[in-house]
Amino acid sequence: MFLLMKRIIRVLMNVIYLLDIFHKMLNKIILVKRIISYLSCLYLCTQILIIKRITLFNKKEKNMREDTEKSVVCNHNKIGLLGLLVTLGIVFGDIGTSPLYVMKAILHTGETINESTILGALSCIIWTLTLQTTIKYVCVALRADNNGEGGILALYALLRRLKSKWIYILAIIGASTLLADGIITPAITVTTAIEGLESISPDLPVIPITLAIITIIFFVQRFGTESIGKSFGVFMLLWFLLLGVVGAVSITSYPMILKAFNPYYAVVLLTQSPEWFLILGAVFLCTTGAEALYSDLGHCGRKNITISWAFVKTMLILNYLGQGAWVLNHVPTALSVNPFFSIMPQSMLIFAIIMATGAAIVASQALISGTFSILSEAMNLHFWPRMRIKHPTHVKGQLYIPMINLAMYIGVVLIILLFRDSSHMEAAYGLAITITMLMTTLLLGFYLHSKGVSRVLTILFMGAYCTIEAIFLAANLSKFLAGGWCTMLIGGILFLMMYVWVRAMKIRRHYVCTKPLDDYYQIISDIKADESIPKYASNLVYVNHADKEGAVDDKLLYSIINKQPKRADHYWFINMEFVDTPDTLEYSCKTLVPDTLYSVTMHIGFRIEPRVSLYLRQVVEDLVASKKVDLKSTYPSLRKNGIPGDFRFIIIHRVYYPESSANRQQNLLMTLYALISKIGIDEPKALGLDTSMVVVERVPLIINQRNRSIRRITQIVNKKEEQKEKGCL
């Protein structure tokens, strides 16, 4: 503890030393001091006003929810120093590393470097952060929460009950492009940070060092990141302070850079520059982390993100302005270096590179964890095949999906080897996330309409942001051939997989035949009482896929009655209902036939991993405690000693045969579905069943009547035997 305090004091002393230097420089330039003080006060007042308005609006909400979770992550939703620090470490890693490459990307667009260009580009950055991140995401999107959870899939879960059946397409387009962006982010952030070493040693092997760091990042995922994650907040606080202080010091070398706050310079640049679309494509990189900010709503809470963003945005803008000031003072050499590292004092360069590498690791970790969370939600929303999920720590929401971790690692390594340096990666970055933001805007429009917001305001919001993001999309499309094709290819493959999975699941559900369960109460009771039938199990459990209440899958009844009649003491039908809320875990139980037949409906949130064996055990314990069921074995020797009866699960697996459908489109979809399902796990493991007690019965999935064009097999007739038969007659 003493050593930790000593290190913190040492870091604070360094910060105070830098602030002292900054103060002395400002005293020499009185005009600059007054301008910066005025603009800083004006800017902070604006941020405080935004926060105050959001807080007041929150108090007016009628349906305030109290978070009763006691896990580590949920406690971070409370406003306080700990909550704000954790928010800095979890939420702002992606957007916080954008100063590493945004200004460098702008300089490489080919536009002439002069005051008008730099002021216009900086003005675009400031107002992009304001319009996109502050207004759209912080002020609007963070309010569109699903029981405290955010992100495009959580937003879709709120809207999937609407009449618009095609709305799922917006969700899977947004999710697939967001996942594609998650592959390029670790590559570009880590590579850019390591490239800073070239200013010290030009012959340093950047790619091997980058690959080594990437390998370590993905390797440690299997062990969990709870221990190192606790320090992310403090580290990112120091990172943002470094950005702001160094940027502010650099501003003093060219005070007129503060004119970039005026949007006039952005308008002039976009209307007069022939390379405006390339510049706008580079500017967009400053806000790519905004979607991740919305996705992390459930980890930190709206108020923590809102308050932290005021600080983060201030530090980012100071750093961008500082880089712009340095560029205007060093126009001849600006293209050959990265302005981010150039504004650093030479004595702090090594420290800055270490900090940049650490920030890149934090950003990469946030993207990897976010990818696991998104795919976990997609599984419960039936957008993705269910995969094996591990929980390396006891922290709520921390997941590890081995196959996805390996696939992401291979993808990041291939991107690094393909593009070689960050300048080429910048061309591949930004296009996919633009589409995600556009899909989020459309879904937010549906959300605002469903909440009773006036149609005029909804149309104005959607029109304004669809226009802004369409312009950004057009600007980023200019980078398609230079590298944007890469993320679009990845996003396209992911979209195709999700689309096929959704359509195939609908086809399977459509052709599942159901029957009223109450018509079979008597025969099930008779089978139980028929001792001539060998007892199959004391407790027989089926997973019922019928959607309607009181209905049962006909193949389930066929398994009990026709296919080797199964006698048991108790029959349990489990109905799985994945609800629109994230953390719901409830059940309801009905006794259909006393001491014989029970129906259990489990209501599971889209962020909860199904573990049917565990949940059923808890349900049975409740029923036994309330004396609604007697689980003691009916075998006299076992019952005498109070031993409970055994459980056995029966899973009905429907197999698709192409010959059963004349529809070529359905045949293609179901064939692709079969291929995609190979990356997932089988249904017993997906439901969390103890595989030692599971029997899988395979039955045909009859999509349609047999095609009449198929030839019918004919019987071979022996003429002699036929004549004998006729003679006998």
Q: What is the pLDDT of residue 591?
A: 92
Count how many residues are written for the chain.
729
- Tokens representing residue 191 in the block: 């590579």
| Pairwise CA distance, residues 250 & 26, whole Å | 11
Q: What is the pLDDT of residue 52?
A: 44
> Do the Cβ atoms of 553 and 544 come closer than 8 Å?
yes
> Where exactly does CATH 1.20.1740 map onto the chain?
2-56+71-382+392-460
| Pairwise CA distance, residues 346 & 325, whole Å | 17
Half-sphere exposure of 317 (CA within 13 A, CB side): 26
Among 227, 289, 632, 297, which residue's Cα sits nearest to residue 436?
A: 289
- Tokens representing residue 680 in the block: 């997932």
Longest dimension (CA), the chain: 128
pLDDT along the chain (729 residues), means of 10: 50 50 46 41 42 41 37 49 83 90 89 90 95 93 86 89 83 94 89 86 86 92 64 88 94 93 93 88 90 83 90 95 94 89 89 91 87 88 89 69 93 92 84 92 92 91 94 89 89 95 88 88 93 92 86 90 90 89 88 92 86 90 89 88 90 79 81 90 85 83 56 72 61
Q: What is the pLDDT of residue 660?
A: 65
Q: How far is CA 439 from the centre of its chain?
A: 14
CATH 1.10.10 fits 2-56+71-382+392-460, yes or no: no
Q: What is the pLDDT of residue 273?
A: 86
Backbone φ and ψ of 555, nearest 5°: -70, -25
8-state DSSP, 681: -
Among 293, 290, 303, 301, which residue's Cα sits nearest to residue 53?
A: 303
Q: What is the pLDDT of residues 124-150, one digit of tens each?
A: 999 999 999 999 999 999 988 888 888
Q: What is the pLDDT of residue 72?
A: 36
Among 79, 107, 47, which residue's Cα sits nearest to residue 323?
A: 107
Q: What is the pLDDT of residue 146?
A: 84
| Pairwise CA distance, residues 647 & 665, whole Å | 41
Q: Per-residue b/e over 352-375, b at no fewer than 16 CB within 10 Å?
A: bbebbbbbbbbbbbbbbbbbbbbb
**What single string gives the DSSP state of each residue in 96-139?**
HTGGGTHHHHHHTT----SHHHHHHHHHHHHHHIIIIIIIIIII
> Do the Cβ atoms of 398 and 224 come closer than 8 Å?
yes
- Tokens representing residue 507 in the block: 């086809």
Q: What is the pTM of this model?
A: 0.80
- Tokens representing residue 116 in the block: 């008008």
Q: What is the pLDDT of residue 315?
A: 95
- Tokens representing residue 91 in the block: 């939420």
Residue in the structure block whose two tokens are 């201030």: 314
